[in-house]
Amino acid sequence: MFLTGRTAIVTGSTSGIGLAYARAFAAEGATVVINGFGDSAAIEATRAELAATSGAEAFYDPADMMRGDEIAAMIEQAVQRTGGVDILVNNAGIQHVSPIDAFPPDKWDAIIGVCLSSAFHTMRAAVPHMKKAGWGRIISTASAHSLVASLNKGAYVAAKHGLVGLTKTVALETATSGVTVNCISPGYVWTPLVENQIPDTMAARGLTREQVIDDVLLAAQPTKAFVTPEQVAALALFLCRDDAKSITGANLSVDGGWTAA
């Protein structure tokens, strides 16, 4: 297990892609810190599962990704508990679908905060520890929407484009330190985030649920299949290997060919 002795923090990891990341890291022996919202009993069961899988510790931190002070505290608590932070995955995300002239300003602020500003706060807190250790991996879940736009998703598209720019900048700043900084940009993955945006898309476009899935979501992906969380996590795991130490500042697509067109 090549991550034994490493600590991985994954934001937004109580379900979906984030949980797949956490499980992949635990399977390779990492101490994992999970974060996100959900039922407390279910979160505790997940934490126990990860600890049993890794043979190391696992922790849950409830830091709110809208609050920079709580994010910084999450990083520092992980360092105090485990001695360092080796892997940071910025995965927390929310979505709202609406035309720009009807887009609620509070939804804009929340999406930018959770999907972009939280990554600034985590990186700002984690990078000094990684530089000191001479090794680190920062991976952010971007999206095919970091490369292309879709109707009625102005805040999400803006946040994901910004996340790629932040990644490139921090990759340059850490290039000689043993730290790599990359994005993974999935296409449509069947997660609660995708499931929850279907009603809004139905309303915005006057479509049925089946039409949204077939004619909006999967229409974008030439494979006509959803990406799986495990496929995304497998790429993140590779980025943590020494074989990937020259990959930094990259935005790696896992999108069924969506952005090839």
Check residue 46 and give its pLDDT. Answer: 98
| Rounded distance between C-alpha atoms, residue 34 and residue 12, angstroms | 7
For the chain, which ranges sit under pLDDT 50?
A: none
Name the amino acid, one letter, at 261: A
Check residue 217 and give its pLDDT. Answer: 86
3-state SS, the chain, equals: CCCCCCEEEECCCCCHHHHHHHHHHHHCCCEEEEECCCCHHHHHHHHHHHHHHHCCCEEEECCCCCCHHHHHHHHHHHHHHHCCCCEEEECCCCCCCCCHHHCCHHHHHHHHHHHHHHHHHHHHHHHHHHHHHCCEEEEEECCHHHCCCCCCCHHHHHHHHHHHHHHHHHHHHCCCCCEEEEEEEECCECCHHHHHHHHHHHHHHCCCHHHHHHHHHHHHCCCCCCECHHHHHHHHHHHCCHHHCCCCCCEEEECCCHHHC
Name the residue among 65, 92, 73 with its Cα closest to residue 10: 92
Check residue 200 and give its pLDDT. Answer: 84
Check residue 196 and give its pLDDT. Answer: 84
Name the residue among 204, 200, 203, 163 with its Cα closest to residue 11: 163
Q: At what angle do helices 229-239 and 16-27 cross, to 10 degrees?
A: 50
**Contact between residue 28 and residue 55 where contact means Cβ atoms under 8 Å apart:** no
pLDDT tens per residue across span 183-238: 999 999 988 778 887 898 899 889 999 999 988 889 889 999 999 999 999 999 99
Q: What CATH code would you report for 7-187+228-254?
A: 3.40.50.720
**Contact between residue 72 and residue 116 where contact means Cβ atoms under 8 Å apart:** no
- How far is the CA of 108 from the CAs of 112, 157, 197, in angstroms? 6, 11, 15
Check residue 189 and give its pLDDT. Answer: 93
| Rounded distance between C-alpha atoms, residue 203 and residue 252, angstroms | 32
- The residue ranges of every structural domain in the chain are 7-187+228-254
Residues noted as catalytic: 156
Check residue 230 and give its pLDDT. Answer: 97
